[in-house]
A and B are shown apart, each in its own frame.
Chain A
Amino acid sequence: MISLEDTEFSSQALDALREVGNIGMGNAASSLAQLMNVRIDMAVPTASLLPFEEIVEMIGGMEEVVACVYMKVLGDAPGTVLYIFDEESTYRILHSLLETCGVSSQMMTPLGESAIKEIGNVLTGSFISAIATLTGLSLITTVPLFSFDMLGAVLSTSLIESGYTEKDVLMIDTSFFQGRQEIKGHFFLFADPGSLNRLLGALGISV
């Protein structure tokens, strides 16, 4: 989620953020392909600036079960990143990763949790490092936290804990495809005050 801060973002700025999202997600997709050792295709991500309630509606519903990885970003443009997989995609990933370990595809086990956390870690890590390379900013992610529960509970708690309760959030929405199977992921970036401007400034866009 990127907060609007005090400025109205120009469409140019939003375009730049969409492009940042595209590059970040491309990098994340190739990491996922390497990790899962399969070919991964990616749909063009969409970027939108939305209030909390609308985000929940877009992803599914308050009670939809999701896996969520939560990380803080430290450095030049501090903030919080979230990666959310819907329930079906979560089990799909686990199945293709852990097939040989006899992991259940209906229940979250400690092994499954650990695997999904690592996937989220890799995805967000490669997303953030792509942005860092692009902008020349120093960005570091912290150890991930994890939750597997209702979307409303997970998302509201993330926003509250990060202190984003007033402002719109930037959602970069992505779909990965493995063969014909879709893996639906939603990536959120919540930028601390000043971070978004620093990000755009590093890309040569004045706000």
Chain B
Amino acid sequence: MEYKDITVGIAGYHVDRSPNRIVTLGLGSCVGICVYDQQTRIGGLLHIMLPDSSQFGEVKKPGKFADTGVPALVEEVAREGGRLSRLFAKLAGGAQMFSGNGDSSALNIGTRNVAAVRQALGRMGIRIAAEDVGGSQGRTIFFDLNTGQVIIRTMGNNYRVI
């Protein structure tokens, strides 16, 4: 099937339909959230950077934060014809990229991002169908709107599918 790859940048989101794919590159501590309606094959991908918008003043890009980005993404999916009751989510990212000095607490915003995304999805009643989060590797993800599968690529061209 002829499909297009649409790339979402950091703090961005995009909603599309089958047979297209939505792509986001180089997720480190950031989290990629894929939301999908299997019946209409409409879905969206969001690339958040931070867990919580409340400590910042004006939010110019809702996609930057888990608490503002998840509702924005879900609303957009609904506007395009996805039904809220049928949506499920898949998550990837939230890695701890840096190591050293035996200090495991160093630079670990990834874990907080994942927790905030789970919470935001929970508030909207959206089930998490699969996730590939944490670890120490960066991820590129391809969200296939034909199948609802998320293909994850890590360094050295290693692939996983969730």
Using a CB–CB cutoff of 8 Å, the interface residues on chain A facing chain B are 52-53, 56, 61-63, 65, 68, 70, 117, 143-147, 149-154, 156-158, 160-161, 165
- Tally of contact residues, B, Cβ under 8 A: 27
Query: B137–A149 contact, CB under 8 A?
Result: yes
Known: A52-B10, A150-B138, A161-B109. A156 touches B28 (CB 8 A): yes
Q: Cβ of A149 and Cβ of B138 under 8 Å apart?
A: yes
Name the contact of A157 in the complex, choosing from B9, B107, B140 (C-beta under 8 A): B107
26 cross-chain CB contacts under 8 A: A53-B9, A61-B25, A62-B26, A65-B155, A117-B100, A144-B101, A145-B99, A145-B100, A145-B106, A145-B107, A146-B100, A149-B28, A149-B137, A150-B26, A152-B138, A153-B27, A153-B28, A153-B29, A153-B139, A156-B29, A156-B30, A156-B49, A157-B30, A160-B29, A161-B109, A165-B49
A-B pairs with the 3 shortest C-beta distances?
A152-B26, A153-B138, A153-B28
Please report the C-alpha to C-alpha distance between residue A117 and residue B100 in the assembled complex, in whole angstroms: 9
* Closest chain A residue to B138, Cβ basis: A153
In this complex, what residue of A is CB-closest to B29? Answer: A157
- How many residue pairs bridge A and B at CB < 8 Å? 93
Across-interface contacts of B98 in A (CB, < 8 A): 68, 70, 145-147, 157-158, 161
Interface assignment of B90: CB less than 8 Å from any CB of chain A: no
Q: How far is the CB of B60 from chain A (nearest CB, A)?
A: 9
Complex Cα distance A165/B38, Å? 35
**B30 pairs with A62, CB closer than 8 A:** no
The answer to whether the Cβ of B22 comes within 8 Å of any Cβ in the partner chain is no
Cβ of B155 to closest chain A Cβ, rounded Å: 6
Alpha-carbon gap, A153 to B138, bound state (A)? 5
Given A146-B100, A156-B49, A161-B107, the answer on whether A151 and B29 have CB atoms closer than 8 Å is no
